[in-house]
Structure 1
Amino acid sequence: MGKFADKLAAQPLYFQNAYLSSAVKSQVKSGKFAEYYKLLTDFDYLEAKIKRPEFGVQALITDYDLIDESKVATHSDDNSHEVETLKRIQGTLRLCAHILAEDQTQLAGQLLGRLLSFPQPEIQALLAQAKQWQDNPWLRPLTPSLTPPGGRLLRTLTGHNHWVNALALTPDGKRVISASSDRTLKVWDLADGKEVFTLTGDSSSVTAVALTPDGKRVISASDDSTIIVWDLADGKEVFTLTGHSNSVNAVALTPDGKRVISASDDSTIIVWDLADGKEVFTLTGHSNSVNAVALTPDGKRVISASDDSTIIVWDLADGKEVFTLTGHSNSVNAVALTPDGKRVISASDDSTIIVWDLADGKEVFTLTGHSNSVNAVALTPDGKRVISASDDSTIIVWDLADGKEVFTLTGHSNSVNAVALTPDGKRVISASDDSTIIVWDLADGKEVFTLTGHNHWVNALALTPDGKRVISASYGTLKVWDLADGKVITNFTADNSVYCCAVAPDGMTITAGDSSGQIHFLQLEAGL
């Protein structure tokens, strides 16, 4: 805390309350505008007032309502600059009043997220104070990514004006690429949160992004039927890959980074050469949209999943179909490969998961147990177990040695949207439409923690590289949780639904995309 807060805290409680109640009014009445101005641009005063239950954020906002009265008291118009500054701070407090009423620890983050773009020295001094706040862990906005006071549009990180569909981090963790429904991609510098390039060329929503292993090129897929290859050194388009006749849903790169595979609603998969941008093969065999593609670890085969209920295994040496895996009776939503590349697991709207042998294309097991669509599958790092998430509100853990159900994890009351595994493979985290995240122990299938705090569905999860923290994205909020005790470390409230999130290799820098097109760059501050 600052000198003001220390001095105030040293006084008896009755004095503190009396001071916070009367300080501003007395200065206004006495015409001491300078003192009034100094107090209402002091972060410690703002914090002290909102933290007291007998005052709170609304009482603080009311302090600023005395601005015009103060001008009259001083009989001067020379303080117009100061008045404008106070109005901006008051406007910021109004924008986040509902947040601060529930969580006073977000004061510093809300001020920074909304006022960073204003150059006035007094505002920057206030924010410098806010940056030093260390009473609790918190997420410090690195850029002005929240709605500013006055209703004006931001100029930083607001090139997107529609949903952000996907995020990708370069291998060195220095840049993040965002893909949006506004037809653009943006490359951002994680050191300062500034936009490096805006990649424009798509004529419809950008649906997916992928990076070459060396981090030098980014590949974007679009609803306009094209794939574009971009150079990250200068942000220029290298190739536009044209050949599909409908939306491109997914892209994947071979391990050597020399070829890209695209899957489309036109029922085809196309293999492209990244050296010259030419089509190598068009893989035809599906009779409906292709939803997902996966590559074997050796890069020799590609597996595609389709709405036609089939999975096809293709040979990338000649582009020929190796096997068509038939067994599902509805759309195949996802595919995953065991680490050794010998088996593929498919998840379907028919409520089943099927394990296939890639040596002969035969079905090894059909995993039945869900009663609704299977949305996602994940494999433990040792490849011995598969975890499936379903619209039936359950997660099932299966043993890949015998295809038997090990545990059914019941605890959610609505669809399970995503699952994530800790790097050691000992715990699984699930996110649901029931607004909760559950952490499960894979040794006994028991619930370790139910993480409650969101008030809407949880859209996405991201784990820090050390597996000690999980970040959850929901309707308007981002939460950081400690997986040691299941407690919330900190919250960040955005102005719109947060749909995706990612964590940089440092485990402290978090990026999140929301439904308005904003990209939030956040630094986890440890606190005391």
Structure 2
Amino acid sequence: MNIRPSAKGLVTIGLVVLGVIATIGSLLVYVRQEALMKEQALLARSLALQASELRDVDPYTSLKLGVAAVHINADAASRKALLESLLVLRREDLFSMDPRGASSVALSQDGHVALIKDADEIGVWDLSGMLDENPEGEAEERAELEGDYENVDFLALSSDGRTALIGQDNGTAALWDLTNLAQPTRSETINAGAAREADRGIEALALSRDGRTACVGDLDGNFAIWDLSVRTKPIRRSHVRLPAGRIRSISLDADARLAAILAGDRDVTVWDLSRPDNPIQLSRLELPFNTAEPISITADGREILVGSSQRADVWSLADPAKPIHTATLDMPNQDLYGIALSDSEKIALFAGDGGSVPVWDLSTPSRPTNTSSLKNYSREVSYIAVSADGEVALTASPDRGVTMWDLRDLPEMLEDPVGVACNAPDSLKITREEWTRYAGDADWTRYGGGLLGKDTLAACSIDWALSLA
């Protein structure tokens, strides 16, 4: 007996078939989209890696590939690689320095005056020419400081660049007046020992922003505070002997009212210097590691950073008598040699081995962010300095000598690296030959290749081309 399906049954069957077809179609679209996303992620990663490799030898091509990578897949790794390519273009090597001898640097608050130790000499440098609007401007060494500086790398500079404190081989520190950069005047010497004539071997020194207070530490744990209000007649305000022995680092806040001292292997103490005649130890940090170096206190005195192997830790000094550990920064460096902190935005830069300078944003101390790195050192960065506004940095390296970094547009780069890169007049064009070399057999038409009838691809327009695909 033949049973003919009812009209309602046919409609139901039809809807089921259509549903199956729609589901299959959706799955096919989903699979295709997933395949495209995977292809784009792999391509972006490859372009970002090649951009990193080209950063030093061909920075312009590195920038093009970095922009392309972010447009294709804007993940954290691609953005960071592009940032580092942008930063390399803001680097200027001071080629007049002897790369084998460059060892220590200090910088004024505005970044215009620098002290640079080169082999056994210390130069006074005017960096204004590289920071003005003149594209032909250059850094200029204005003078050399005479003295016995061959084996000492301790330099300090006041905010206005007019007062310098230099460690010497004879265990003292020389005080210099740099009011006239071309004709610096040596004023007096100070030391860390209990007696004026003590010769203990200076291991650390710090100078207040206004150049009126100096702190000096030596090999035997002597710590002295000096009043430099009259450069020609420095006055020792106090002296203490730290039981941990050798003082390895001293860091002051902006007002020189708070000091952090690293003595021995890991003894980090916080001191109240509001009464220079009677410094008071407020606290000692309970460090989670056996060896500490370096240390740096923020300008407002509310945080202190302590470095160790492959890490740096942030401590809150909201109550200096009760430091609280708030964060750990993971570092690629096996050894850290120095920490430089700006005032604004609290940008932190770390000198060490491994060929890079990690850049961290500490504006939220409990959640620090590794934003980028200053790259292209083959071995290490020995010393680092940054201006108070975070706009200028100096790095000293055995393989590059001294390098100046113009970081004035770093906030814009952090917010929108593609926007900063694509602000260039030539819109970063990638030729067909370049695409084949760096992107392989990836279909360049999908990313805008030849879209305007030319044998080029505009890296800055890849996002627009993908939106049309």
Q: 1:417 to 1:226 in 2, by over 3 A?
A: closer
Q: Percent of aligned pairs with the same residue?
A: 18
Residue 198 of structure 1 corresponds to 95
1:390 lines up with 2:255 in the alignment: no
Q: 1:13 to 1:346 in 2, by over 3 A?
A: farther
Residue 119 of structure 2 corresponds to 223
Q: 1:44 to 1:507 in 2, by over 3 A?
A: farther
Q: Which whole-Å deviations, capped at 9, do the CAs of 1:295-330 have from their partners, x for residues lacking one?
A: xxxxxx65534xxx648xxxxxxxxxxxx636x783
1:114 to 39, 53, 69: 53
Residue 238 of structure 2 corresponds to 364
Residue 163 of structure 1 corresponds to none
Residue 380 of structure 2 corresponds to 497
Q: 1:474 to 1:357 in 2, by over 3 A?
A: closer
Total equivalences in the alignment: 360
Q: Name the CA distance, whole Å, in 2 between partners of 1:204 and 1:15.
A: 52
1:377 lines up with 2:250 in the alignment: yes
Q: Name the CA distance, whole Å, in 1 between partners of 2:145 and 2:331.
A: 46
Greater relative contact order structure (CA < 8 Å, 6+ sep): 2
Q: CA contact under 8 A between 2:386 and 2:393: conserved in structure 1?
A: yes
2:312 to 422, 437, 452: 437
2:201 to 328, 331, 348: 331
Q: 1:135 to 1:460 in 2, by over 3 A?
A: same
Residue 265 of structure 1 corresponds to 169
Residue 425 of structure 2 corresponds to none
1:470 lines up with 2:348 in the alignment: yes
Q: Which runs of 5+ in 2 are unaligned?
A: 1-25, 130-136, 418-469
TM-score (norm 2): 0.57
Q: Name the CA distance, whole Å, in 1 between partners of 2:189 and 2:149.
A: 20
Counterpart residue identity of residue 334, structure 1: A
Displacement of 1:211 in angstroms is: 6.3
Displacement of 1:420 in angstroms is: 2.0
1:486 lines up with 2:367 in the alignment: yes
Displacement of 1:438 in angstroms is: 1.5
Q: CA contact under 8 A between 2:253 and 2:301: conserved in structure 1?
A: yes
1:11 lines up with 2:30 in the alignment: yes
Q: 1:135 to 1:265 in 2, by over 3 A?
A: same
TM-score (norm 1): 0.52
Displacement of 1:44 in angstroms is: 3.8
Counterpart residue identity of residue 199, structure 1: S
Counterpart residue identity of residue 393, structure 1: R
Q: Name the CA distance, whole Å, in 2 between partners of 1:502 and 1:259.
A: 16
Q: CA contact under 8 A between 2:121 and 2:149: conserved in structure 1?
A: yes
Residue 128 of structure 1 corresponds to 67
* Alignment of structure 1 residues 173-252 onto 2, 5 Å: 192-193=89-90, 195=92, 198-199=95-96, 205-209=101-105, 220-225=116-121, 227=123, 233=129, 235=138, 241=144, 243-244=146-147, 247=150, 249=153
1:45 lines up with 2:64 in the alignment: no
The alignment partner of 2:52 has SS state of helix
2:215 to 332, 340, 345: 345
Larger Rg: 2
Q: CA contact under 8 A between 1:375 and 1:391: conserved in structure 2?
A: yes
Residue 399 of structure 2 corresponds to 516
Deviates more, 1:378-387 or 1:111-120: 111-120
Counterpart residue identity of residue 324, structure 2: K
Q: CA contact under 8 A between 1:356 and 1:365: conserved in structure 2?
A: no
The alignment partner of 2:30 has SS state of coil
Q: 1:511 to 1:198 in 2, by over 3 A?
A: closer
Q: 1:504 to 1:361 in 2, by over 3 A?
A: closer
Q: Name the CA distance, whole Å, in 1 between partners of 2:398 and 2:164.
A: 28
**Structure with greater strand percent:** 1
Displacement of 1:429 in angstroms is: 1.3
1:461 to 328, 339, 342: 339
Q: 1:12 to 1:489 in 2, by over 3 A?
A: farther
Displacement of 1:126 in angstroms is: 3.6
Q: 1:222 to 1:438 in 2, by over 3 A?
A: same
1:409 to 282, 285, 295: 285
Q: Name the CA distance, whole Å, in 2 between partners of 1:505 and 1:362.
A: 28
Q: CA contact under 8 A between 2:102 and 2:116: conserved in structure 1?
A: yes
Q: Name the CA distance, whole Å, in 1 between partners of 2:214 and 2:140.
A: 35
Q: Name the CA distance, whole Å, in 1 between partners of 2:288 and 2:155.
A: 32
Q: Name the CA distance, whole Å, in 2 between partners of 1:270 and 1:196.
A: 28
1:139 lines up with 2:80 in the alignment: yes
Residue 290 of structure 1 corresponds to none
1:304 lines up with 2:243 in the alignment: no
Displacement of 1:418 in angstroms is: 2.3
Q: CA contact under 8 A between 1:435 and 1:452: conserved in structure 2?
A: yes
Counterpart residue identity of residue 135, structure 1: D
Q: Which whole-Å deviations, capped at 9, do the CAs of 1:382-412 have from their partners, x for residues lacking one?
A: 4333211123313101233453321110214
Q: Name the CA distance, whole Å, in 1 between partners of 2:392 and 2:112.
A: 21
Q: Which whole-Å deviations, capped at 9, do the CAs of 1:356-381 have from their partners, x for residues lacking one?
A: 5679945635153x523211112233
Q: 1:428 to 1:516 in 2, by over 3 A?
A: same
The alignment partner of 2:294 has SS state of strand
Displacement of 1:474 in angstroms is: 3.7
Q: 1:192 to 1:221 in 2, by over 3 A?
A: same
Q: CA contact under 8 A between 1:260 and 1:273: conserved in structure 2?
A: yes
Please report the RMSD computed on the Cα atoms of aligned residues, expressed in angstroms: 5.1
Displacement of 1:456 in angstroms is: 1.5
Q: CA contact under 8 A between 1:390 and 1:417: conserved in structure 2?
A: no
Counterpart residue identity of residue 30, structure 2: Q
The alignment partner of 1:199 has SS state of coil
Q: 1:429 to 1:13 in 2, by over 3 A?
A: farther
Residue 421 of structure 1 corresponds to 297
Q: Name the CA distance, whole Å, in 1 between partners of 2:158 and 2:253.
A: 22
Counterpart residue identity of residue 260, structure 2: I
Counterpart residue identity of residue 95, structure 2: T
Displacement of 1:441 in angstroms is: 1.7
Q: Name the CA distance, whole Å, in 2 between partners of 1:124 and 1:342.
A: 45
Q: CA contact under 8 A between 2:111 and 2:386: conserved in structure 1?
A: no
Displacement of 1:416 in angstroms is: 2.5
Q: Which whole-Å deviations, capped at 9, do the CAs of 1:235-285 have from their partners, x for residues lacking one?
A: 58676648546627566678876787765437795858886956855xxxx
Q: CA contact under 8 A between 1:142 and 1:193: conserved in structure 2?
A: no
Displacement of 1:465 in angstroms is: 3.1
Displacement of 1:458 in angstroms is: 2.2
